[in-house]
Amino acid sequence: MPQIIGKEVGPIGFGLMGFTWRANPCSQGQAFEAMRAALKNGMNFWNGGEMYGTPEYNSLVLLEKYLEKYPEDADKFVLSIKGGATKDGGALDGSPENTRRSLDDSIAQLKGRKKIDMFEFARRDPKWPLETTFGIIQKEYVETGKIGGISLSEVRAETIHEAVKIVKVVAVEAELSLFSTEILENGVVAACAQYDIPIVAYSPIGRGMLTGQIKKHSDIPKDSMLQYFPRFSPENFDINLQLVKQVEELAKKKGVTPGQLAINWTRMVAKRPGMPTIIPIPGATTAARVEENSKLIDLTDEEMAQIDATLAKFTTAGERYPPTVSMNS
């Protein structure tokens, strides 16, 4: 079993973003059912965010309500929370004032029902030195026992090399999927391997596209944030659908769903020489989808080689994020 911050976690984790960060969130009852299914199926590394929704209804608010109903589950999962944006969820702000505000608000929203095991800024704020931001988190929150540790999110390799000189980095969250293999080549994976830092791989199913459920551009809901992502734009969608079709063929041959193939590919990449631990964190808002995502499937060397060959012939169309969102901070 992989470990994060000294605690054993399942090989596949669970992303909470989809429960609260959308125009029409699912009911709390449905969310609770999916969350319980995650624990039942060994997905006990949970990743949420202060900015995943409004201050009135974000990951922390949902978690507090869940733990009010199921207090016995508090010790059953490791909790990672993303923060560091301003209170309205707008700009990133690594100032001492906002660093304390983000942490204090996140801790307060849980109402003492659960300790945050690891806290990460959603991006590095270039306006403030890491020593300033991390110094506050380390001295005032980690060393006092208010949170467990510090992780990084959406950073470039240079930031990892710099951060490890200041604090113990317990994890690095980065996008990794068959659509997004950048960290395998840009030094992020190599840096994590060098320092034995686990990678938390978000969007392993390509924001849902690798499940095969999105067949045409009109399948994307009008109120979905995907409407603003370049890879889902009309001019890029059909190009990227070509990879989805190839994944579907490979999955059919393997006797698994496309989503299961995509999620487990990220796990199998970590088994190659010189790789760090990689824990994919697919999100899902129904118990049925959670159960599907939780299945552990080993891919043979031949199957991995076939996927390598497929990826070598394919270039993803469009950037990972809209121009307004920073990447590799």
| HEC profile of the chain | CCEECCEECCCCCEECHHHHCCCCCCCHHHHHHHHHHHHHCCCCEEEEECCCCECCECHHHHHHHHHHHCHHHHHHCEEEEEECECCCCCCECCCHHHHHHHHHHHHHHCCCCCCEEEEEECCCCCCCCHHHHHHHHHHHHHCCCCEEEEEEECCCHHHHHHHCCCCCEEEEEEECCCCCCHHHCCCHHHHHHHHCCCEEEECCCHHHHHHCCCCCHHHCCCCCHHHHCHHHCHHHHHHHHHHHHHHHHHHHHHCCCHHHHHHHHHHHHCCCCCCCCEEECCECCCHHHHHHHCCCCCCCHHHHHHHHHHHHCCCCCCCCCCCCCCCCC
The Cβ-side half-sphere exposure at 74, using a 13 Å CA radius, reads: 15
Domain extent at residue 131: 3-208+259-296
List, for residues 38-61, the tens digit of each pLDDT value: 999 999 999 999 999 999 999 999
Please indicate, yes or no, if residue 243 is contained in any of the structural domains: no
List, for residues 280-292, the tens digit of each pLDDT value: 999 999 999 999 9
Please indicate, yes or no, if residue 120 is contained in any of the structural domains: yes
Please indicate, yes or no, if residue 265 is contained in any of the structural domains: yes
- Least confident segment among 8-12, 84-88, 205-209, 225-229: 225-229
Which pLDDT does position 228 carry in this prediction?
A: 77
Q: Compute the distance between CA of residue 20 and CA of residue 22 in angstroms, rounded to an integer.
A: 6
List, for residues 170-186, the tens digit of each pLDDT value: 999 999 999 899 999 99
Which pLDDT does position 114 carry in this prediction?
A: 97
Please indicate, yes or no, if residue 307 is contained in any of the structural domains: no
Please indicate, yes or no, if residue 309 is contained in any of the structural domains: no
Instruction: Show the tokens assigned to 242.
Output: 């070509």
Please indicate, yes or no, if residue 324 is contained in any of the structural domains: no
Distance between terminal CA atoms of the chain? 30
Which pLDDT does position 19 carry in this prediction?
A: 95
Residue 195 neighbours by CB distance under 10 Å: 14
Which pLDDT does position 190 carry in this prediction?
A: 97
How many distinct structural domains can be found in the chain?
1
- Least confident segment among 99-103, 231-235, 269-273, 293-297: 231-235
Q: What is the mean pLDDT of the chain?
A: 92
CATH number where 269 lies:
3.20.20.100
From the candidates 52, 66, 141, 202, give the one annotated as an active-site residue.
52
Verify whether residue 52 is a known catalytic residue: yes
Please indicate, yes or no, if residue 325 is contained in any of the structural domains: no
Q: Residue 88: exposed, middle, or buried by beta-carbon count in 10 A (0-12, 13-18, 19+)?
A: exposed
Which pLDDT does position 13 carry in this prediction?
A: 97
Better pLDDT: 298 or 230: 298
Task: Please give the average per-residue pLDDT across 65-78, as a whole number.
Answer: 98
Please indicate, yes or no, if residue 308 is contained in any of the structural domains: no
List, for residues 253-302, the tens digit of each pLDDT value: 999 999 999 999 999 999 999 999 999 999 999 999 999 999 999 999 99
